[in-house]
A and B are shown apart, each in its own frame.
Chain A
Amino acid sequence: MKILTCPMNGPRNIDEFQSFGPVRAEPDPDRTADADWSRHLFRAENRRGIVIEWWRHVPSNYFFLAERDLVSNEIIRTFDASERRAQP
């Protein structure tokens, strides 16, 4: 069993969580060309390294962020989405 530490619910079995993939830029749909929109929809971060991803704790429907290594599967940290917004 792998443990993921939820910022709200504490350490839980990773089975309780759902991954929503790496965080990506949020383009303005009205001002984005088709090619860029395609990129936004279909090309997620896939490099061997550390990514920041959206996760959801399913029972509480709480969305948060996790920093995880795509090679070692180490979860480096988890944090509330408000922390991301606070970053420049």
Chain B
Amino acid sequence: MPLRLLKYGLSRDYPVSGDIPATPDLKPSYDVVIVGGGGHGLSCAHHLSKYHGISSVAVIEKGYLAGGNTARNTTTIRSNYITPEGIAFYKEAVELFEGLSQELDFNVMFSQRGQLTLAHTEATLRSFHARAEMGKHLGTRTEVVDQKAVEKLVPSLNMDYGGALEILGGLWHADGGTARHDAVAWGYAAQASRRGVEIHQRTEVEGFEVVGDRVQAVKTNRGRITCGHVLIATGGMNYDVALMAGVELPIRCYPLQAMVTQPLKPWLHTLVSSVSLHTYLVQSSRGEVVIGGSSDPYQLYSTRSTLDMKEHLAEGAVHLFPFLQGVRLLRQWAGITDMTPDYSPIMGASPLENLWLDCGWGTWGFKATPVAGKRMAETIAEGRVPDILRPFALERFETFRLLNEMGATAASH
């Protein structure tokens, strides 16, 4: 049997075919250089090549494809934010996810199972009413639900009646869901490379040649590339990469930790999130329970995991679902999040004419992979920032027009 298999493996009639071609030689020039081969950069490359006829694109990745925060996030997709600008943007993200497997001809395993955020205090419940009304106004499915509805949505939940963390109600977001993060990145990469986009893995940006108010060339460890436009989409490296071009972003980096349990039978059919416990859970299609929570409490550039955070996440998870107490952890990991002061991303123009930003994705970037790529591609192709992105401009910090989404997540506040 192994020998017969080997015959096929070595035969020229059955060549090895991969979704992503091997890294080619670097050309001296590209129309667009995308720094960062994660979901966002690859999505932008896909949109540039498919909808704007721009295929002279190089995606430059320091490590391997989608190995940064694309691989480390907890795959929550939702649009139940606070500001009208934020909701409108993330609504488009959810809509693009709904059609993404078809768009990419690649199964991204999008599962729109809804997200339930729990309120353990009256104050949280009041903030949920405000979020639900704003969400409804903008056409998303977001509503406040009472205790009975919570019990019905997640029967295994510990309601803690009479306890200190009694669940008083929830914010039910039927549009919420999850998808397979690797598939999203690989689907975009496969599509983009089929249209001529070059993906350069293990290619590190070492600097930018800035002449006047333009980036003339990108210096990498594999050579110098002149470029028409540059997009920075490097997740936890955004601050460092922008600084190489002389742009200082209002970003501070914090580790964000998460973990998964051993696989269990399917029992959790929605995403569950608790604001007070800073814990959220989702059961993956493999049955593992993915548990995430708040960022580390102080700035750091290390992706080590700490026992403190694991204890904290386990405490929250076991409080919500006491039967998880005997379940074992399978893996834990961390990523570096590029946090902005208002918990909203920075997208659009930079102080340099042809340098574009897709930065400040902190703990909320995965869900925006399709929409950020689509809208940044539009920005680069047309040389104009579309209206939906304008509120996220870097200038908002100088004009004090912040988009406060701090309370829109269980992750950090």
Which residues of A does B touch, CB under 8 Å?
1-2, 14-15, 18-19, 21-22, 34-35, 38, 41-44, 46-48, 51, 53, 70-73
Q: Which of B249, B253, B398 gathers the greatest number of chain A CB atoms within 10 Å? A: B398
Known contacts A1-B307, A1-B308, A14-B308; 9 additional CB pairs below 8 A are A15-B308, A18-B297, A38-B400, A41-B341, A41-B397, A42-B341, A51-B299, A70-B301, A72-B302
Chain A residues within an 8 Å CB radius of B251? 46
A71 in contact with B301 (CB, 8 Å): yes
Check A2/B306 contact, CB under 8 A, given A42-B250, A70-B299. Answer: yes
7 smallest beta-carbon distances between A and B, as pairs: A19-B298, A42-B250, A38-B398, A42-B341, A42-B397, A71-B301, A43-B250
User: Once the chains bind, are A71 and B308 in contact (CB under 8 Å)?
Assistant: no
Binding site for A on B (CB under 8 A): 239-240, 243, 248-253, 297-302, 304, 306-308, 341, 397-398, 400
Report the minimum CB–CB distance from B61 to chain A (whole Å).
20
Within the assembled complex, what's the spacing in Å between the Cα atoms of A72 and B304? 10
Query: Which of chain A's residues have a CB closer than 8 A to the CB of B304?
Result: 73
Q: How far is the CB of B294 from chain A (nearest CB, A)?
A: 13
Tell me the smallest distance from the CB of B307 to a CB of chain A, in Å: 7
How many angstroms between the C-alpha atoms of A15 and B304 in the bound complex? 17
Contact B239 A34 (CB under 8 A): no
Docked complex Cα distance between A42 and B341 (Å): 6
Known contacts A41-B341, A42-B397, A48-B240; A71 and B302 CB within 8 A of each other: yes
Q: Is the CB of A46 within 8 A of B299?
A: yes
| A-B residue pairs in contact (CB < 8 Å), sample of 23 | A2-B306, A2-B308, A14-B308, A15-B308, A19-B297, A19-B299, A22-B299, A34-B400, A35-B398, A38-B400, A41-B397, A42-B397, A43-B248, A43-B250, A46-B252, A46-B253, A47-B243, A48-B301, A51-B299, A53-B298, A70-B299, A70-B300, A71-B302
CB-CB under 8 A from B398, the residues of chain A are 34-35, 38
> How far apart sit A73 and B240, CA to CA, in the bound complex (Å)?
18
Given known contacts A43-B248, A46-B253, A72-B302, is B297 in contact with A38 (CB within 8 Å)? Answer: no
Q: Distance (Å) between the CB of A25 and the closest chain B CB?
A: 15
- Chain A residues, CB < 8 A from B297: 18-19
CA separation between A81 and B123, bound complex, in Å?
Answer: 37
Bound together, the chains give a CA A43 to CA B247 distance in angstroms of: 12
**Cα-based distance from A14 to B297 in the complex (angstroms):** 10
- Nearest chain-A residue to B312 (Cβ)? A15
A21, B299: Cβ atoms closer than 8 Å: yes
Q: B242 to chain A: closest CB distance in Å?
A: 11
* Alpha-carbon distance between A1 and B308 when the two chains are bound, in angstroms: 7
Nearest neighbor of A68 in chain B, beta-carbon distance: B298
